[in-house]
Amino acid sequence: MRMTRVAATAAAAVLALTMAACGSDDGSGTGTGTGSGTGSGNTATGVVGKAASGSLKIGVKADQPGLGLQTGTAYEGFDIEMAKIIAKGLGMQESGIQYVTTVSANREPYIQQGTVDLVIATYTINDERKTKVNFAGPYFMAGQDLLVPAASTITAPEQLAGKKVCSVTGSTPAKRIQENYKDAQLQLFDSYSKCITALAGNQVDAVTTDDIILAGYASQSQYAGKFKVVGKPFSEEPYGIGLKKDDKASCDKINEILKAAATDGSYKAAWDKTLGASGKAAPELDVSKLTNCA
């Protein structure tokens, strides 16, 4: 009896301590402006500092062919190539990059809580997100579009009334459909791959997200010839590289790296190696727009 009581007290104490630890995590996660890099024993600040110590955790997508796709333990795609360019620019080895799979809904929390140092995951820069995280870039200009079966008659988002449209919980495209095309029925999944499966089985009439992501799916071998991208983008989605709100120095540094990549050919090489397979020529990286660091 006595033993059980002692054990119970000990368990309660451990639980309380765990909770307390959670609480203090939250405190540093909200970033009250005390400066970044308060992590254990790391004196350097922010992403630049962590890169200097040789390792960087980068959040990427795992289910988007051409952009960020996980096969086995390896990741490949345009976003991954961008991660490599940035790592190189920060003076660290590619092998020091630790990729962390993110989905649309957990990118801000991951950055704010320090689960990842950078997010390069088809991450649209917008004002709402800018209040929470800092954005380097944009390194690519995408636009929201529709992916429909090859025989579909849908040619513009206005024709979505009464149709079933699939997107991902918490993503910008889902929000835009909810706000601007209220007559469409929105099916939400936690990943685009499920949307594509539903589209292949005709449970939904269209999948919506950025054109470049859709092109990646349309060109996957198992779906060849089955889908088409409508080709009328109805938004501008500048892709940025997300990092902590108070890490402006690293943000500026990444923009410099992007500027260099635009001219030294590494940006074009990254494109040709990945999304270039879709037949689209490499876009220009517009260095005049790299002004989002705050």
Q: Which stretches of the chain bind another protein, using CB under 8 A?
A: 22-23, 26, 29-31, 104-109, 111-113, 128, 132, 164, 169-170, 185-190, 197-198, 201, 203
DSSP three-state, residue 231 = coil
Q: In the complex with another protein, which residue's Cβ is closer, 29 or 96? A: 29
Q: Across the chain, where does the E strand assignment appear?
A: 56-60, 63-64, 68-71, 74-76, 97-101, 118-124, 133-142, 144-149, 164-168, 185-189, 206-210, 227-229, 237-244
CB of 168 to another protein, least distance (A): 10
Q: In the complex with another protein, which residue's Cβ is closer, 4 or 179? A: 179
CB of 198 to another protein, least distance (A): 7
Length of the chain: 294
| Alpha helices by DSSP H, 184-247 | 192-200, 211-218
Q: In the complex with another protein, which residue's Cβ is closer, 113 or 278? A: 113
CB of 170 to another protein, least distance (A): 4
Burial of 200 (0-12, 13-18, 19+ CB in 10 A): middle
Q: In the complex with another protein, which residue's Cβ is closer, 93 or 203? A: 203
| 214/81 Cα distance (integer angstroms) | 19
| 135/188 Cα distance (integer angstroms) | 26
CB of 181 to another protein, least distance (A): 14
Residue 120 neighbours by CB under 8 Å, 6+ apart: 58, 59, 60, 68, 79, 80, 82, 83, 86, 241, 242
Q: In the complex with another protein, which residue's Cβ is closer, 111 or 214? A: 111
Q: List the one residue out of 249, 253, 247, 156 whose CA is nearest residue 208.
A: 156
DSSP three-state, residue 150 = coil
CB of 109 to another protein, least distance (A): 4
| 48/25 Cα distance (integer angstroms) | 22
Q: In the complex with another protein, which residue's Cβ is closer, 47 or 119? A: 119
Q: In the complex with another protein, which residue's Cβ is closer, 107 or 268? A: 107
CB of 33 to another protein, least distance (A): 13
CB of 234 to another protein, least distance (A): 21
β-partners of residue 56 are 97
CA atoms within 13 A on the CB side of 109: 8
